[in-house]
Amino acid sequence: MIIVAGFIVCLAAALPAAAQEDVRPIPSWVSDRGYWVVENSTDSSIVYFYNNDNQLLYKERVKGQLNASRKKTKLWLTKELEQVVTAWEARKNPSKTVGRQNPSLYRQMMGGVSGLSSY
């Protein structure tokens, strides 16, 4: 009986250590504010930007195909996602209105995200 109890205590002590080893760090291109989806066709790509509530915030057609498996592209898309979510939240909450003091955010709110067609 003592051997079984000792085995159970050892097993219980080893479980948290084994579970911690399986935790992987979150990649730098993963946003905590939403996600993006790339849909490629033969001559262009469509990028969809969503918030964490799965609401489509913005969609952009890009000439050429985006290689979403490249880290550089993922980092760029995540940066654009952050801008889209910021603009959407500012538009959704008028009490935090952004004026012309922040030109890039103002442009995004008034006419969408610029620069997507450059990638």
Of the candidates 32, 61, 56, 28, the one whose C-alpha atom is nearest the C-alpha of residue 44 is: 61
Q: d(Cα 111, Cα 83) in Å, to the nearest integer?
A: 13
Q: What is the pLDDT of residues 57-108, one digit of tens each?
A: 999 999 999 999 999 999 999 999 999 999 999 888 766 555 555 666 666 6
pTM above threshold 0.75: no
Cα separation of the two ends of the chain: 67
Residue 79 in any domain: the answer is: yes
Q: d(Cα 114, Cα 80) in Å, to the nearest integer?
A: 9
Residue 16 in any domain: the answer is: no
Residue 102 in any domain: the answer is: yes
Residue 28 in any domain: the answer is: no
> Above 80 in pLDDT, residue 12?
no
Q: d(Cα 62, Cα 119) in Å, to the nearest integer?
A: 8
Residue 24 in any domain: the answer is: no
Q: What's the domain count of the chain?
A: 1
Q: How confident is the prediction for the chain on average, in pLDDT?
A: 77
Q: d(Cα 108, Cα 89) in Å, to the nearest integer?
A: 12
